[in-house]
């Protein structure tokens, strides 16, 4: 298959291109070398089309393409409200333009990079009220070191549960809002065009070539960069917040399976969680990484960020059933390898 791969100069798409080519596909890469991800003077790769989806004429790049794999995005949590327009423009307006161009080209297959952040704080079980969305964490609770969210009805203790793809959207950050909107635009395009899309909701992605620490980096890059500077990871809250760390090669495999099978899906947008299926606490992750780097143990600081979600762990079962995807890299192994893997510096 001939694939247009957006965001091709990025961390995840670079691995998608490798796995796609290994499986015999032809990849046409496109990127705009976003400053926030690559730095202002990043050298261009002549094998990747240099085009900004917000403004470029996309139509010629879609000639002869079978499937679009849309990885280009402004990532991170967002720094402050001044980021809102950039998230909307890069992740939503640019996607809308891409979808309109795909419609003009008669292209009806899309694989979209989405994120578990669409679920926000996920779902919990209250002993009294059953399956509930957690209440937004209160400042006085956080300041007092009570990090777990409360039941939105009774204010009591609740327990996190595995979430599936039918879990309602609850975006908490600029980035999360832009990813929800992106899924909605793709879904509307499917309806208008009778098209098919697969949205892959990535969990916390890590692996070789991930960008070094920037204001938009996730925790794995932040900890790995701290170790590279000779510092130890600084773990927020009490370190018992839970995530699912999924290796970038597994993310790449999920994408290529989706590229190969999107045409077999029902018309419309089908979402899949992409996760390792082995939850880890942030404290465990920091300890594994530090030990593998031969550094001292991490420091648990009790710092917190208002926008952080406490636990987000989703079931990978639908991706196993629908795409035949199962993660191969156990997080304990992959995170230990990350301690010495090269990071991308631009
Ligand atoms: C991350 C990504 C998000 C992506 C999602 C799923 C970022 C900034 N966030 O969300 O874009 O869609 O995974 O792939 O890239 N923490 C520390 N110390 C630090 C920094 C963070 O302990 O120095 C803790 C935070 O309090 C939080 C956890 O690590 O509990 C994860 O934080 P982070 O990686 O920033 O965000 P996610 O919500 O997991």
Residue 289 in contact with residue 223, Cβ under 8 Å?
yes
Per-residue confidence band for 37, with pLDDT thresholds at 50, 70 and 90 = confident
Half-sphere exposure of 216 (CA within 13 A, CB side): 18
Q: What number is the average pLDDT over the span 242-252?
A: 96
> Which residues, 6 or more positions from 72, have their beta carbon under 8 angstroms from its beta carbon?
6, 7, 10, 13, 30, 31, 32, 53, 90, 94
CA distances from 52 to 7, 55, 72, 262, 282 (A): 10, 6, 10, 26, 35
DSSP readout, 272-289? EEE--S--EEHHHHHHHH
Which atom of ligand 1 is found nearest the CA of 282? Answer: 29
Nearest CA to ligand 1 atom 19: 219
Q: Tell me which residue has tokens 């079978």.
A: 66
Nearest CA to ligand 1 atom 28: 219
Q: What is the pLDDT of residues 72-120, one digit of tens each?
A: 999 987 788 999 999 999 999 999 999 999 999 999 999 999 999 999 9
How far is ligand 1, taken at its centre, from the CA of residue 309, in Å? 9
309 CB within 6 A, ligand 1: yes
DSSP readout, 35-68? HHHH-TTPPPPTTEEE--TTTS--GGGGTT-SEE
Q: What is the largest distance, in Å, between two alpha-carbon atoms of the chain?
A: 60
Which atom of ligand 1 is found nearest the CA of 175? Answer: 11
Who has greater pLDDT, 37 or 174? 174
For residue 172, pLDDT beyond 90: no
Nearest CA to ligand 1 atom 3: 76
Per-residue confidence band for 238, with pLDDT thresholds at 50, 70 and 90 = very high
CA-to-CA distance for 55 and 97, rounded, in angstroms? 9
Which atom of ligand 1 is found nearest the CA of 301? Answer: 22
Q: What number is the average pLDDT over the span 21-37?
A: 95
pLDDT for position 346: 61
Q: pTM to 2 decimals?
A: 0.95
241 CB within 6 A, ligand 1: yes
Nearest CA to ligand 1 atom 37: 218
* Torsion sign across C-alpha atoms 304, 308, 309, 313: negative
115 CB within 6 A, ligand 1: yes
Q: What is the pLDDT of residues 277-329, one digit of tens each?
A: 999 999 999 999 999 999 988 999 999 998 899 999 989 999 999 999 999 99
Per-residue confidence band for 203, with pLDDT thresholds at 50, 70 and 90 = very high
To the nearest 10°, report the CA torsion of 150, 155, 161, 167.
-90
pLDDT for position 306: 84
Q: What number is the average pLDDT over the span 232-243?
A: 97
Q: What angle do CA 4, 35, 274 make, to 5 degrees?
A: 50
Which atom of ligand 1 is found nearest the CA of 246? Answer: 14
- Best residue for ligand 1 mutational test, from 73, 117, 219 (most atoms within 8 Å of Cβ): 219
pLDDT for position 307: 84
SS3 303: coil
The residues facing 31 across adjacent strands are 50
- Supply 97's token pair: 């333009």
Which atom of ligand 1 is found nearest the CA of 202? Answer: 14
Q: What number is the average pLDDT over the span 245-274?
A: 98
pLDDT for position 218: 87
How far is ligand 1, taken at its centre, from the CA of residue 22, in Å? 31
Q: What number is the average pLDDT over the span 222-249?
A: 95
- Best residue for ligand 1 mutational test, from 148, 199, 204, 225 (most atoms within 8 Å of Cβ): 204
Q: Tell me which residue has tokens 């393409």.
A: 65
Q: How many CB atoms lie within 10 A of CB 290?
A: 20
pLDDT for position 211: 84
- pLDDT above 90: percentage of residues in the chain: 87
Per-residue confidence band for 246, with pLDDT thresholds at 50, 70 and 90 = very high
CA-to-CA distance for 182 and 71, rounded, in angstroms? 12
For residue 64, pLDDT beyond 80: yes
pLDDT for position 77: 77
For residue 168, pLDDT beyond 90: yes
Which atom of ligand 1 is found nearest the CA of 235? Answer: 22
How far is ligand 1, taken at its centre, from the CA of residue 189, in Å? 30
């Amino acid at each position: 298959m001939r694939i247009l791969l957006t965001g091709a100069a990025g961390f995840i798409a670079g691995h998608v291109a490798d796995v796609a080519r290994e499986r015999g596909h032809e990849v046409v890469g496109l990127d705009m070398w976003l400053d926030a991800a690559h730095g202002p003077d990043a050298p261009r790769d002549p094998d990747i089309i240099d085009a900004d989806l917000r403004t470029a004429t996309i139509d010629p790049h879609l000639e002869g393409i079978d499937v679009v794999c849309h990885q280009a995005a402004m990532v991170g949590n967002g720094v402050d409200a001044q980021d809102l327009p950039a998230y909307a423009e890069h992740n939503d307006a640019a996607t809308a333009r891409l979808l309109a161009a795909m419609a003009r080209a008669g292209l009806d297959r899309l694989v979209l990079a989405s994120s578990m952040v669409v679920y926000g704080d996920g779902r919990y079980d209250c002993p009294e009220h059953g399956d509930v969305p957690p209440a937004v964490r209160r400042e006085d609770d956080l300041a007092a070191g009570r990090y777990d969210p409360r039941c939105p009805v009774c204010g009591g203790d609740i327990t996190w549960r595995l979430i599936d793809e039918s879990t309602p959207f609850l975006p908490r950050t600029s980035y999360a809002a832009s990813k929800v909107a992106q899924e909605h635009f793709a879904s509307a395009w499917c309806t208008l065009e009778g098209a098919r899309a697969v949205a892959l909701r990535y969990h916390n992605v890590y692996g070789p070539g991930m960008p070094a620490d920037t204001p938009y980096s996730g925790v794995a890059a932040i900890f790995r960069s701290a170790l590279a500077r000779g510092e130890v990871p600084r773990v927020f809250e009490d370190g018992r917040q839970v995530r699912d760390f999924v290796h970038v090669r597994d993310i790449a495999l999920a994408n290529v399976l989706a590229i190969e099978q999107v045409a077999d899906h029902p018309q419309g947008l089908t979402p899949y969680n992409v996760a390792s299926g082995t939850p880890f606490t942030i404290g465990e992750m920091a300890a594994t990484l530090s030990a593998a780097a031969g550094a001292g143990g991490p420091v648990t600081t009790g710092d917190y960020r208002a926008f952080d979600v406490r636990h987000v762990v989703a079931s990978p079962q639908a991706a196993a059933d629908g795409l035949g995807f199962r993660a191969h890299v156990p997080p304990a192994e992959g995170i230990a390898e990350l301690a010495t893997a090269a990071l991308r510096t631009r």
